[in-house]
A and B are shown apart, each in its own frame.
Chain A
Amino acid sequence: MVELILFYAFAALIIFSAVLLVTARNVFHGALYLASTLFGVAAIFALSGSFFLAGIQVLIYIGAVVVLLIFVINLTRQIAGSSAAQVNEAVVPALITSLLTITLIVLAVLKTDWATRIGKSVAQTEAMDNTAVIGTQLLTNFAIPFEVVSVLLLAALIGAIAIVSRDKEAGK
């Protein structure tokens, strides 16, 4: 009962701030609404018993991604000061992409056999510590994707360093 009320409260928070996020004319306000949306998602994770995911969601998405976003907005005062335009010439491709994404998500939700999946994962997490399950899975079944992601992040890191040092040389 309490969980149901909390679920709907946080779901409402997510939708409300997501709508505010895309309609906000001020980019900085948009970033704050994004933080609130992501916080709602973390709360839903926590409600479903995935405390580790909830913690990581707050740590990575709010603590790192939104902070970097705000940092960039602060560095570019022109967009932050004036109100940004809601539509530009990319409106039609954006609409198509969003519609395709929505179709994909809806199909995935409808096709999933929720009862058995949730029952299985609950049984699994109750047998072990939630964090331990994720750790074991990452280093056994998902070892290759895990390593691929690490290489991707490393490449991004080196790329950023390369771009910055090239600008430095050009400046001199």
Chain B
Amino acid sequence: MALLKELLYNSGKPLSEFSSWMHAIWAGWGMPGFLLDFIFQLVIVLAVTAVLVLNALWIIYYDRKISALMQIRKGPNRVGPFGLLQTLADTVKLLIKEDVNPKKIDILSFWIAPLIIFIPTFAVFLVLPFGNGLVPADLNIGILYIIAITGLSVIGILAAGWGSNNKYSLIGGMRSAAQIVSYEIPMVLVILAVVLMSGTMKMSGIVAAQSNRVWFVVPQFLGFIIFLIAGNAEVNRAPFDLPEAESELVAGFNTEYSAMKFAFFYLAEYTNLFLTSAVAATLFLGGWQGPFLPPIVWFFIKTYFVITILCWIRWTFPRIRVDQLMEFSWKYLLPLALLNLVVTAVILKF
């Protein structure tokens, strides 16, 4: 019982003890240590990926239920209790569907695009602190790593749009790339202000910086709002869902995709939503910290709080025009984010 409590509340210590205990046994068998480290890393990666995939399935259901609530209808309610198994059934359906490859696609770009989008989305979670000491790899450059790796998915979207050899896909891909590049700049500036306040780019350090004072959402309230808007634009969700605007572009960059390759895009989209919310919770809402409940529970509560806000925005705002989208980022968000950064730096200095 005490061990379970320690494992839940202060996961770092028992896990490292377990690791050194295993290392001792392993060395007793005369096996090289790096092999065990490799096995550990493999187990961690598989565990995190499994949690993320299950979580993505659950977020899809959650998003659909919220949309149903907003539109006064029932949402998925046939498969399993309360329709809980609906996304599972959808996934199985996508897995066994025929994989359609249109005739005039560019094979390399068309096949590699889902992977370029899918792999970085999951690789980003390497530095995210899920709990006290529950970080797969606590890199010094934590938040920079997140920004850099999430930027890779733009190439995947462009490759999907171009490789499909379809004008709707191409326009969708171009719109998406322009949108992500534009909204990344205010987002990075806001993150920079948070880094200034915490004095480190390490994710666990940013959480620790919020432990003895108010969460950064109070001093950085403007930053939090800008982060949510830019984050929402980066995951291509309404009101920024121009890349897949179904009323004008069929489905945007994933028009030609079907079966498993489409499932990759869909899973990556919802994992990205989870990622944006988790980063927002870590940077602004104190990460895994909170009273009574175990850290990992607090982490999920805060993340789902942000997800709920983003879903709420998605189902209540109309889609904006392309020119409005660009104008909003460059003429309003960017100056505000710069102002936020300068004011933060000046206040911290004096």
A interface residues, Cβ below 8 angstroms from B: 1-2, 26, 28-29, 32, 35, 51-52, 54-56, 58-59, 62-64, 66-67, 70-71, 73-74, 80, 129-131
Contact = CB atoms under 8 A, between A and B. Distances in A.
Contacts of A54: 141
Q: Which has the most chain B C-beta neighbours within 10 Å: A32, A66, A129, A130?
A: A32
Nearest to B106: A28
Given A35-B155, A70-B159, 15 more contacts: A1-B34, A2-B38, A63-B148, A63-B154, A63-B184, A64-B181, A67-B155, A67-B158, A71-B158, A71-B174, A71-B177, A74-B158, A80-B162, A130-B141, A131-B201
Nearest to B139: A51
25 contacts: A2-B34, A28-B106, A28-B159, A29-B106, A32-B109, A32-B112, A55-B144, A55-B147, A56-B144, A58-B149, A59-B144, A59-B147, A62-B151, A63-B154, A64-B181, A67-B151, A67-B158, A70-B158, A70-B162, A70-B177, A71-B177, A74-B161, A74-B173, A131-B140, A131-B141
Interface string B107-129: 01100100000000000000000
Contacts of B315: none
B108 A130 contact: no
Contacts of A55: 141, 144-145, 147-148
Interface in B145-201: 145, 147-149, 151-152, 154-155, 158-159, 161-162, 170, 173-174, 177-178, 181, 184, 201
B152 A58 contact: yes
Contacts of A64: 151, 181
B126 to A, nearest CB: 12
A28 B109 contact: yes
Contacts of A26: 106
Q: Which has the most chain A C-beta neighbours within 10 Å: B147, B152, B177?
A: B152
Given A67-B177, A71-B177, A129-B140, A62 B155 contact: yes
Contact of B141 (A1, A32, A52, A73): A52
Given A1-B34, A28-B106, A55-B144, A66 B139 contact: no
B155 A32 contact: yes
Q: Name the interface size band of chain B.
A: 20 to 34
Nearest to B149: A58
Contacts, number: 80
B141 A67 contact: no
Contacts of A35: 155
Given A52-B141, A67-B155, A131-B140, A59 B148 contact: yes
A123 to B, nearest CB: 17
Contacts of B173: 74
A52 to B, nearest CB: 5
Interface of B: 34, 38, 106, 108-109, 112, 139-141, 144-145, 147-149, 151-152, 154-155, 158-159, 161-162, 170, 173-174, 177-178, 181, 184, 201
B152 A62 contact: yes
Given A51-B139, A70-B155, A74-B170, A32 B149 contact: no
B117 to A, nearest CB: 13
Contacts of B108: 29, 32
A130 B148 contact: no
A73 B161 CA distance: 12
Contact of A67 (B34, B140, B148, B181): B181
A65 to B, nearest CB: 11
Which 4 residue pairs across A and B have the least CB separation, nearest first?
Answer: A63-B151, A58-B148, A59-B148, A55-B144
Contact of B140 (A1, A51, A62, A80): A51
Contacts of A73: 162
Nearest to B174: A74
Contacts of B148: 55-56, 58-59, 63
B34 to A, nearest CB: 5
B252 to A, nearest CB: 14
Contacts of B147: 55, 59
Contacts of B140: 51-52, 129-131
A58 B161 CA distance: 22
Contacts of A51: 139-141, 145
A138 to B, nearest CB: 15
Contacts of A28: 106, 109, 159, 162
A70 B109 CA distance: 12
